[in-house]
Amino acid sequence: MAPDRRTEAAAGGAQVALRHLAGRAAAAAVGRNQRRAAQLAISGLLIYYVTAKSIQISDRSLLVLLNGLTAAALYFLMASGFTLLFGLVRVTNLAHGGVYLLGGYVALSVQRATGNWLAAAGLGFLFSGGIGILLYVLLRRLRGEGLRETMVTLGAAIVMADQALAHWGGVPSDLDPPAFLQGSLPLPASPLLYPKFRIAVIGLAILAGLALWLLLYRTRLGMVIRAGVDDRDMVSMAGIRVELVFCAVFVLAGGLAGMAGVAGGTYLSLAQGEDNRVLLASLIVVIAGGLGSLRGAGAAAVLVGLVEAFAQTHHAILSVLITFGTLIAVLALRPHGLFGRPVDARL
């Protein structure tokens, strides 16, 4: 499709959507549902703004889209483990960023020693799964005391960040992608090229999402995990060893974070402070999506990734403010996140 026709189609679509939204906002305002009216008005403004901006620079917006999806993929890998852990064990794991960093760094060391990316990724995955077990053991004493568990993970995060600094230093470093994922791929209907590895990261996240879905909804372990999210006392009453399941989820969450660390360490870089950045991004994703909801994590990862990429391209100065503004807006309108439900998150 020629760029001008594409632009026209986008403008037409946006116009229809805007008219629809305006009508609903007006109806809501008449019906005195002020919150709904405000929601609709805000989303209308966002749609207007995004299309108005992207119509001007169409090829760039394709890049923004892809960058956003790559970031979304990384955030989903982080957020899915985080949200599973919260949903089942009710632990807010603030050491998740530290696991990301350590997983990435271990993979880096393995790659420097063997030169093999796949071996590095595998060992990074295993190592961070092992950290998951450590965290499980550390938190065992405090089961059910949300605040103290969170504090312990915070302490673990401080220790991990300092140990990473001690062993791998403060200079940013990165992994080399495997040979078959080096170079770039031409994009369809565009003269642009896009790095293969970034596309592979998007694929990895989709695969991980599918695998998680299969695990949760098609296996016995998944059934137990889902039941545990709803009522873990009943599950242990049914004769299932919940502690073992908890441990498995810790390993799974750690492994996912490590995988994210390997991916992020390859296409971004590993450095001091990166753990906090990724932890914050995935926190935003998890909270905006609703704590404990895998579906919410997916949807919010895409939302946050796109908003972030868009803001970085068009408003570099205010980019982070826009990302956090999105979260604050989502939470102010929906206190439990997009797909969340009022779980007993009391501390």
Residues that bind other proteins (CB under 8 A): 92, 138, 141-142, 146-148, 150-152, 154-159, 161-163, 165-166, 276, 280, 283-284, 287, 291, 317-321, 324-325, 327-328, 331-332, 335-336, 345-347
State how far the Cα of 266 lies from the Cα of 258, in Å rounded to an integer: 12
Helix (H, G, I), strand (E, B) or coil at 270: strand
Q: Report the run of H or E that residue 193 belongs to, with start and end.
A: strand 193-195
- CB-nearer residue toward other proteins: 95 or 208: 95
- CB-nearer residue toward other proteins: 44 or 290: 290
State how far the Cα of 249 lies from the Cα of 263, in Å rounded to an integer: 21
Least spacing, CB of residue 258 vs other proteins, in Å: 20
Per residue in 192-222, is it b (16+ CB within 10 Å) or e — as a string? eebbbbbbbbbebbeebbeebeeebeeeeee
For Cα atoms 160, 75, 164, give the angle at the middle one, nearest 5 degrees. Answer: 15
- CB-nearer residue toward other proteins: 285 or 306: 285
State how far the Cα of 88 lies from the Cα of 95, in Å rounded to an integer: 17
**Cα distances (angstroms) measured from residue 135 to each of 54, 82, 187, 233:** 45, 13, 43, 22
Of the candidates 111, 106, 150, 167, the one whose C-alpha atom is nearest the C-alpha of residue 131 is 106
The two tokens of residue 82 are 């985080």
Least spacing, CB of residue 301 vs other proteins, in Å: 16
Least spacing, CB of residue 289 vs other proteins, in Å: 12
- CB-nearer residue toward other proteins: 197 or 339: 339
- CB-nearer residue toward other proteins: 250 or 267: 250
Least spacing, CB of residue 283 vs other proteins, in Å: 6
Least spacing, CB of residue 61 vs other proteins, in Å: 23
Least spacing, CB of residue 48 vs other proteins, in Å: 24
- CB-nearer residue toward other proteins: 152 or 199: 152
Q: Name the phi and psi angles at 270, rounded to 5.
A: -100, 125
Least spacing, CB of residue 164 vs other proteins, in Å: 11
The two tokens of residue 30 are 């008449």
- Decide: residue 154, CB within 10 A, 0-12 exposed, 13-18 middle, 19+ buried: middle
- CB-nearer residue toward other proteins: 106 or 208: 106
